Structure 1
Amino acid sequence: MTKKLAKSAISQKRVLDAAAKIFRDFGYAGTTMRVIAEEAELKAGSIYYHYKSKDDLISAVLDLGIKAVIDAVKDALAKLPEDAPGRLRVQTAIHAHLSAIIDNGDYTLATRRVFGQVPEAIREKNLRLRNSYAAMWQDILTEAQKRGEFRPDANLSLARLFILGALNWTVEWFKPGGSSIDEVARNFSAVVVDGLVVRPDVTASGAAEAEEKDPPRTVRIRAL
């Protein structure tokens, strides 16, 4: 039986949901506690029962958004057998991440809009959560590489940045009624994992021959 939330918890969730929507639409500077209270259909003074300031509120919105993703991915991975291969772990984490950011779309979009606008102390606090999540992904990729499942020459830090950046961008274009989360996750996983896994049909000598015919070039990448 699902435990019912207390009245105060329901009210707090209304405040957070309203805040995420307003921060998403108007940014940090353009948001006021009064507007959030109106969106939550609460009296202006009632919102201060839960959060003393706009900074407290945006900090809660940012943290809730990333914690929702962390919890979803942890729970999904915990259901896998201990000897689950890297391919399956990556596919599972991708699906859980996508589901979480779509389910919490306002929080994800609010984070994307205001993260660079909030006070440094709030940003640094949230970054610690983000870094712990990035480390989780790095562990998944590294363990698979150590077991010989992923290419030994793969740049896993770059792979992690690509995966998380592309996943987080999904919330900008995903629309209900189009491709399902399952379809997006499956197609995304195919692109990512196929680029990482060791291919049995490619031998070391074959790779050396290919490199000799077409030697690698130095590419300059402009920072975005």
Structure 2
Amino acid sequence: MTKKIPKSTTSQKRVLDAAAKIFRDYGYAGTTMRVIADEAELKAGSIYYHYKSKDDLISAVLDLGINSVISRVKQALQGLPEDASGRKRVETAIHAHVSAIIENGDYTLATRRVSGQVPEAIRAHNLELRNSYATLWQDILLDAQKRGEFRSDASMTLVRLFILGALNWTVEWFKPGQRSIEDVARAFTALVIDGLNSANAPSGPAIGSAKPN
């Protein structure tokens, strides 16, 4: 028998989904709790049962956006064998990341819209989560580099910034039905890994040598 989801949980998800959409469209300053309640088809006062203020709500939207990605990527990586190659780990993480941001598109776009508008305390808290996710990627890349799979002359910091920047932009152009997420993940992986392949390292100055790995 399927376990019934509590009504309060369903209502809270409606509020969050509505908030993500409104923050996406109107930004932080242009959003009000009443507009979010209208979008969620709830009475204006009902929204305060779940969130006491707009700051609480935007903080929840931002955190859900990044936590959904972190959770999806960690779960995907945990499903790999311990001896999985660096290429396989990168491709798996890319696929999980793209899947998460596409499925939660309004949250991703809301984050892009309001990241520079929210109060500093909220931004700092969300940045901590994002930094922890960046560390996860850094570890994947450095581990592969240390095992000789990736070029020793490449800065993994620059590679990480390139990968995450490109992946986060997919929500702007990805159209279901045109290309699958699997195709996108394979294409991104090929672009990144073929360039990082240790067999392709040229002679000359190290790439990003002035930057830390």
Distance of 2:207 and 2:25 partners within structure 1: 44
Instruction: Note if contact 2:142-2:156 (Cα within 8 Å) is conserved in structure 1.
Output: yes
1:222 corresponds to which residue?
none
Equivalent residue, structure 2, for 1:115: 115
Instruction: Work out the CA distance in 2 between the residues paired with 1:174 and 1:152.
Output: 33
- 2:138 equivalent to 1:175: no
The corresponding residue for 2:151 is 151
The equivalent residue for 2:99 is 99
Partner of 2:135 in structure 1?
A: 135
The residue number in structure 2 matching 1:60 is 60
Separation of aligned partners in 2, 1:17 and 1:151:
42
Unaligned stretches of 5+ residues in structure 1: 219-224
Partner Cα distance (1:216, 1:39) in 2: 53
Give the Cα–Cα distance (whole angstroms) in 1 for the partners of residues 13 and 169 of structure 2: 25
1:45 matched to 2:45: yes
Question: Which residue type is aligned with residue 34 of structure 1?
Answer: R
CA shift in 2, pair 1:217/1:130, >3 Å: closer
Spell out, residue by residue over 1:161-194, the C-alpha distance to the aligned partner (whole angstroms, 9 max, x if none): 0000000000011112211111111111100111
TM-score for both structures, normalised by structure 2 = 0.94
Distance 1:162 1:100 in 2: 18
Residues 154, 206 of structure 2: 8 Å contact kept: no
Which runs of 5 or more residues in structure 2 are unaligned?
209-213
Q: Distance in 1 between matches of 2:120 and 2:24?
A: 19
Alignment coverage as a number of residue pairs: 208
Percent identical across equivalent pairs? 76
Per-residue CA distance 1:105-150 (angstroms, 9 max, x = gap): 0000000000110000000000000000000000000000111111
Rg: which structure is higher?
1
Query: CA shift at 1:2, angstroms?
Result: 4.9
Task: Determine helix, strand or coil for the equivalent of 2:118.
Answer: coil
Per-residue deviation, 1:102: 0.1
Structure 2 letter corresponding to 1:32: T
Distance in structure 2 (CA, Å) of the matches to 1:217 and 1:182 = 29
In the alignment, the residues of structure 1 paired with residue 81 and residue 57 of structure 2 have an alpha-carbon distance, to the nearest angstrom, of 39
